[in-house]
Amino acid sequence: MGRLSSLPSALVTDDSALGGLVVERGLRFDKSSGNEYISRTPSSASNQKTYTFSCWYKRCNISYSLANVFEAKNNGQNYTVLYFQDDDKLNFHGYTSTGGNQYTHRHITTQRFRDTNAWFHILVAVDTTQSTASDRVKIYVNGTEVDGYDTSSAPAQNLDTFVNSTHLHTMGRGQAGSAQCYDGYMAEANLVDGFQLTPSSFGYTDFQTKTWKPKIYSGSYGTNGFRLDFSDNSAATSVTLGKDRSGQGNDFTLNNMAVTDSVLDSPSNNFATWRVTGTPVSSGYEQKEGNLYCQTGASGSARQLNRTPMSSYQVNSGKWYMEMYHVYVHTMIGVAHTK
């Protein structure tokens, strides 16, 4: 038998060997349109002490009010929530009005999440049965546990949170409604009911690029667990775009969203969007629709080089392709001219 002159063409790649996942689509949330979110209310309660929430994000507009990403709530004063604060820190906490308004637990990262060009993975693993307070909530970003959050307000041992309760569960909107809508993209959202897992269940580090990549979760999802991949954009319904792929049938209802919100931009295929260098000073400046729409203001200061909207991709060699629809409107004596 002779020696091979080249490597076989059907090698098992690092992706397939580690269960690598190609995420086909993401779901876009546009805060400017008002009150876009997805929701589900479980018909029966399950494990409210132990669970894992995993999702990929690409933020757009930042540093505004509160940007909710996942929440389970009874009413305005009883909830468990994961959100970005107005200072772009990530906050996971519970709040209850029982026995007086008080936090049941609170974890705020020291890191600020302001990158609007890249996808990143957040995992929150909860097990309030743990005897050590610092083990009851674990937060990971791109496979690494975040440090610096205050565990002095960790949940009490055996606390029942509101996740996996029979109360409303939402993604993309906070308990205050439209004032706390998320702006950006989400992809490959998983909730595992009954297990406190580590990031290795959902991702892996690529040995060549050293970047964190999605991985297929192959374990049990439990009663109220779900997997949302937002891949079926044939209709904006709970059995298409909001369909649960875990096999548990825990579909999500889409609220104020359309099939066009299912996009090819994903952790596996990151698309360019608009970004802004500097702080826009024109009162007419606006970015929306997942940073795919940009309107410059009427004032000349908005057109200064360091305040001009630019692509999130910066290239200086190779061959590149882009599509762009440009509308220029100039008003003179009450007449609008469009080129």
> Residue holding tokens 């919100």?
261
Fold (topology level) of 18-263: Jelly Rolls (2.60.120)
Q: What is the pLDDT of residue 301?
A: 46
Burial class (CB in 10 A: 0-12, 13-18, 19+), 238: middle
SS (H, E, C) 50-105: EEEEEEEEEECCCCCCCEEEEEEEEECCEEEEEEECCCCEEEEEEEECCCCCEEEE
Q: What is the pLDDT of residue 44?
A: 97
Q: What is the pLDDT of residue 334?
A: 37
Q: Where are the domains of the chain?
A: 18-263, 274-338
Q: What is the pLDDT of residue 13?
A: 42
Q: What tens digit of pLDDT does each residue of 156-184 get?
A: 899 999 999 999 999 998 766 666 788 89
Which mean pLDDT values do the consecutive 10-residue runs of the chain (339 residues) have?
Answer: 38 50 91 84 97 94 80 83 89 78 79 88 96 92 83 84 95 75 92 97 90 93 97 93 96 94 91 65 62 63 50 72 61 39
Nearest to 227 by CA among 260, 193, 195: 193
Nearest to 96 by CA among 15, 37, 156: 156
Nearest to 234 by CA among 269, 260, 252, 253: 260
Q: How far is CA 92 from CA 71, 153, 197, 205, 336, in A?
A: 10, 11, 17, 25, 48
Q: What is the pLDDT of residue 324?
A: 66
